[in-house]
Amino acid sequence: METAIKAINLTKRYGNFTAVDHINFEVYYGEVFAFLGPNGAGKTTTIKMLTTVTRPTEGTAIVGGYDVIKQPAKVREIIGVTPQEYTSDEDLTGWENLMLVAALYGIPKKEAKERAAELLDLVELSYAADRKVETYSGGMRRRLEIAMGLINRPIILFLDEPTLGLDAQTRAAIWDYVYRLRKQYGTTIFMTTHYLEEADRYAERIAIIDHGKILAIGTPKELKEKVGGDVITIEVSGDVNLARKVIEGIEGVTGVSVDGNTITFKVRNGNTAAPIILEALNKLSIRATSITIKEPTMDEVFLEFTGRRLRDEEGSSEDFMRFMRTIARARR
Ligand SMILES: Nc1ncnc2c1ncn2[C@@H]1O[C@H](COP(=O)(O)OP(=O)(O)OP(=O)(O)O)[C@@H](O)[C@H]1O
Ligand SMILES: [Mg+2]
Average pLDDT over residues 153-172: 89
- Ligand 1 pocket: which of 11, 35, 44 to mutate (most atoms within 8 A of CB): 44
Residue range 3-224 in CATH 3.40.50.300: yes
Per-chain mean pLDDT for the chain: 89
pLDDT of residue 115: 93
Quick: pLDDT tens for 206-246: 999 999 999 999 999 999 888 878 889 999 998 899 999 99
Is residue 50 within 6 Å of ligand 1 at its C-beta?
no
**pLDDT band per the 50, 70, 90 thresholds, residue 326:** low
* Nearest alpha carbon, ligand 1 atom 31: 40
Arithmetic mean of pLDDT, 24-33: 96
Q: Which of residues 116 and 87 earns the better pLDDT score?
A: 116
The string of pLDDT tens digits covering residues 165-211 is 788 888 888 898 889 889 988 999 999 998 888 899 999 999 999 99
Mutate to test the pocket of ligand 1, among 11, 12, 14 (most ligand atoms within 8 A of CB): 14
Domain ranges of the chain: 3-224, 230-294
Asked if residue 313 has pLDDT above 70, the reply is no
State whether the beta carbon of 42 lies less than 6 angstroms from ligand 1. Answer: yes
Nearest ligand 1 atom to alpha carbon 84 = 27
pLDDT of res. 43: 96
CA 28–ligand 1 middle distance (angstroms): 26
Strand 79-82 and strand 156-160: the pairing is: parallel
Query: From the CB of 97, is ligand 1 less than 6 Å away?
Result: no
Give the mean model confidence (pLDDT) for residues 96-120: 94
For residues 66 and 233, give the distance between their C-alpha atoms in angstroms, rounded to a whole number: 51
129: left (phi over 0), alpha (psi -120 to 50) or beta: alpha
Q: Assign 314 a pLDDT band (cuts: 50, 70, 90).
A: very low
Distance in Å, CA 44 to ligand 1 centroid:
7
Task: Provide the whole-model pTM.
Answer: 0.83
Band (329; pLDDT cuts 50, 70, 90): low
Distance, CA 137 to ligand 1 centroid (Å)?
27
| Ligand 1 atom nearest residue 15's Cα | 4
CA distance 170 to 248: 46
Q: Does residue 320 have a pLDDT over 70?
A: no
Q: Decide if pLDDT at 102 tops 90.
A: yes
Q: What would the pLDDT profile of 278-312 be if each residue is shown by its tens digit?
A: 999 999 889 999 999 988 888 888 888 888 877 65
pLDDT at 57 exceeding the cut of 80: yes
5 Cβ partners below 8 Å, 6+ apart? 25, 26, 27, 33, 50, 61, 62, 63, 64, 156, 188, 190
pLDDT of residue 266: 87
Protein fold of 230-294: Alpha-Beta Plaits (3.30.70)
CA 161 / ligand 1 centre spacing (Å) = 13
> What pLDDT, on a 0 to 100 scale, did the predictor assign at position 262?
92
Substitution candidate for ligand 1 out of 11, 35, 43, 46 with most atoms within 8 A of CB? 43
Per the model's pLDDT, the better-predicted residue between 324 and 76 turns out to be: 76
Q: Which residues pair with 205 in a beta bridge?
A: 33
| Average pLDDT of the segment spanning 59-72 | 97
Q: Determine whether the shortest distance from the Cβ of 43 to ligand 1 is under 6 A.
A: yes
Distance (Å, whole) CA 28 – CA 141: 29
What confidence score (pLDDT) does residue 61 get?
98
